[in-house]
Structure 1
Amino acid sequence: MLTPDFLFTLANPLALLGWALLVLAPRWRFTNLLVLSGALPLLLAAAYAVLITTHYLDGHGAEGGFGSLAQVAALFRDPWALLAGWVHYLCFDLFTGAWEARDARRRGVPHGWLVPCLGLTFLFGPVGLLLYFGVRRAIEKTSLLTENQSTAL
């Protein structure tokens, strides 16, 4: 029988594989196939959809809701709802990290500058995204300054 704990032990390594590929093998073809294509985030999204459909929307889900912090706390006392929430985070954070990697490649952001952003996105989602936009902006400004200086000569 599938339990929330068992499914948690499947979802975590799957997401960690995606993060490891983004950081350690950003140009490997399997990274492109599994992560940058969106395949792993979409697999997590499908798992989330199944969890929500079978354990929340069917009317047999946890008590609680989204109307107050107390309702959210009550909702996540149910292990199935907690698992769904965790898979939600895994999915969206990995999707965001993959987007950062694709955007960085397209804009010429060096991978060494991207890695701390990916680490923070993995650990703290929006903070990593915020850092990525800051790094991207700083590199764009530096590139513009260098470009303007070379054309002035």
Structure 2
Amino acid sequence: MSTAFTLVFVAAAPFWALMIFAPAWGWTRRIVSSPWSVTPPLVFWFVFALPNLADLLPAVAKPTLAAWQELVTDPAAMTAVWAQVIAWDLFVGRWMYLDSRERGIHPLVMGPLLVLAILFSPVAVPLYLLLRGVLGRTGQQTAELRERTAVSA
């Protein structure tokens, strides 16, 4: 079970690597633009959650601290929860990456934020929203100007 738990992140790592280390590469945008890019960690969720639905459903239908404390003692259930967390973080990071590319926010600014999204997405999202508010308009205008210049050339 420990191997499966580790493989959940390994399944998401290539997408993170593309967004952080090759943000301007054309294939990165093509690959990450697909909503299916969050699927690999979700495969683990299905593998470990579906056989444990009898335990998972009560914990999510009427969540209590005690129910969740008991649930996370089961390695299969914890692996399913971990897969959901990793998939969600990847979904959020994917949105941040795509939005920042549209707004023209420099990849050197986004790289550390995307790393933060891997580690602490609840911190990365508000920071990105603040950055987006401060730099986003200027960045978006720059991106639009680049597009117009490319079209007219």
**Length-normalised TM-score, structure 1:** 0.78
Match of 1:9 in 2: 6
Q: Secondary structure at the match of 2:59?
A: coil
Deviation at 1:40, TM superposition (A): 3.1
Cα RMSD (Å): 2.6
1:36 aligns to 2:12 (yes or no): no
CA displacement at 1:33 relative to structure 2: 4.4
More helix by share: 2
Asked if residue 137 in structure 1 is aligned to residue 138 in structure 2, the reply is: no
Contact 1:121 1:127 in 2 (8 A): yes
Deviation at 1:17, TM superposition (A): 2.0
Pair 1:68 & 2:67 matched: no
Structure 2, gaps ≥5 residues long: 143-153
Aligned length: 139
Q: Which residue of 1 aligns with 2:147?
A: none
Question: How far off its partner does 1:84 sit?
Answer: 0.5
1:91 corresponds to which of 87, 91, 113: 87
Note the 1:47-126 alignment, pairs <5 A.
47-54=44-51, 56-57=52-53, 59=54, 61=55, 65-66=59-60, 67-126=63-122
Secondary structure at the residue paired with 1:125? Answer: helix
Cα offset, 1:70, TM superposition: 2.0
Q: 2:122 is aligned with what amino acid?
A: P
Deviations 1:6-39 (A, max 9, x none): 3223222122222111100113344234433233
Report the counterpart of residue 149 of structure 2 in structure 1. none
- Contact kept in structure 2, 1:113 and 1:135, CA below 8 Å: no
Shift of 1:51: 2.0
The residue aligned with 1:27 is 24
Aligned partner letter, 1:12: F
Structure with more relative contact order (C-alpha pairs < 8 Å, separation 6 or more)? 2
Whole-Å separation in 1 of the counterparts to 2:76 and 2:36? 24
8 Å contact kept, 1:33–1:39: no
Kept in 1, the 8 Å contact 2:21–2:111? The answer is no
